[in-house]
Amino acid sequence: MKRFLASLGLATLVALPVAPVRAAGPSLAPVVAPGDWINGTATAADLKGKVVLVDVFTFACYNCKNITPNLRKLRAQTSSADLAIVGVHAPETAYEKDRAHVVSNLKALGISWPVRTDNDFAVWRSYGVEYWPTQLLFDRHGVLRKTVIGDSQDTVVDSTIAELIAEK
């Protein structure tokens, strides 16, 4: 290494202190932008300082239905001061675009957290989502830290949320 540095005309390598840098990633802005909400709204103020799980789904998707019990469990077992769950309903069919169908199916599925309808796929596109379901996990600073695609990922989701909550 000394020879390499000398060949560059450098006799020593100086280590400068570096402040920790938080990786920049997509923010929560597309989720909390004005839109059509069911079960209340989620604003930037509501989510500030919380770990946020954004569930991008459609109510008729079999795989999406498979993750709903874990979301209900997380909501029941985790303090609302630490975790917020927000749904983004991105319909696959014209039937799923109908707000009345969305409302009745959310009730049937036991989804009581705020859900933003995304009939124009604006939120979907802003995060580069390609599949149902996709779960976006944000840290307390609103930075996207993990994307989980598909069902049968409850262990990954749960452990990531626990890690992000512990980062206080």
Q: Torsions phi, psi of 135, nearest 5?
A: -115, 125
pLDDT, position 15: 31
pLDDT, position 26: 79
pLDDT in tens, the chain (168 residues): 333 333 434 333 333 232 233 445 679 999 999 999 999 999 999 999 999 999 999 999 999 999 999 999 999 999 999 999 999 999 999 999 999 999 999 999 999 999 999 999 999 999 999 999 999 999 999 999 999 999 999 999 999 999 999 997
- Which of 84, 32, 31, 89 lies closest to 57, judged by CA? 89
Q: Pairing mode, if any, of strands 134-138 and 51-57?
A: antiparallel
pLDDT, position 25: 60
pLDDT, position 115: 98
pLDDT, position 21: 35
Q: How far is CA 111 from CA 12, 77, 103, 145, in A?
A: 61, 15, 10, 24
